[in-house]
Amino acid sequence: MVEVYPGGGWYTEVLAPYLKGAGHLYAASWDAASKSEPIQRRLKKFHDKLAARSDIYGGVTVTELSPAKTEIAPAGSADMVLTFRNIHNWMKGGFDRTVFEAMYRALKPGGVLGVVEHRADPEAWPDPQALSGYVHQDIVVDLATAVGFKLVATSEINANSKDTRNYPEGVWTLPPVLRLKGKDRSKYLAIGESDRMTLKFVKPM
């Protein structure tokens, strides 16, 4: 299994114990040679997290993903690739297709790509950079199918009908970030986390 851009490792905490002894987890993280100080801080925090609990994370292989480094796992080796709320970042950076191609290459034929992403209002004008953090579901489907994936299922398990998708600081206005800090905090807590699409794709046999 591959987790793409694990961030601080919230989902890694779930996936690594689940796979321990039964599979292998690749964590496709940022480019270790990045000149970005925030990226270097996040990388250090993630690696420190793994090192602190080798009993849980000792079998995790950290790979790199950037426009120039796209081998997130050996080609054709993964049964599943998962990514959680990352596509807007790839769109902003202009390497969204590159990442979808990398995920496709890593999967075995018949392998599954699972996607969770903040879902934009389908009636709103699409933003090719997704600067608000919200992405049109049709755009995600188009990105995936353009590189060869087939959409096989959708779920509303992460839907939130209270999310109006219209906030001063985009999706980061809502929890868990709450970028406005104390301003209208109770209002945004009452809305909860963003409305999210949950999509399942397969790499054809």
Domain residue spans of the chain: 2-157+193-202
Distance (Å, whole) CA 140 – CA 58: 33
**Which contiguous run of DSSP H or E holds residue 59?**
none
Q: Are 82 and 4 in contact (CB under 8 A)?
A: yes
pTM of the model: 0.95
For residue 29, list its beta bridge partners: 64
- Sheet with 107-118: strands ordered across: 61-64, 26-29, 2-4, 78-84, 107-118, 196-202, 150-155
Per-residue model confidence (pLDDT) at position 159? 98
Per-residue model confidence (pLDDT) at position 21? 87
Q: Where are the alpha helices (DSSP H) in the chain?
A: 12-19, 37-52, 54-57, 87-93, 96-106, 137-146, 185-191
Where the chain has pLDDT below 50, the residues are: none
| Fold of the domain spanning 2-157+193-202 | Rossmann fold (3.40.50)
For residue 119, list its beta bridge partners: 135
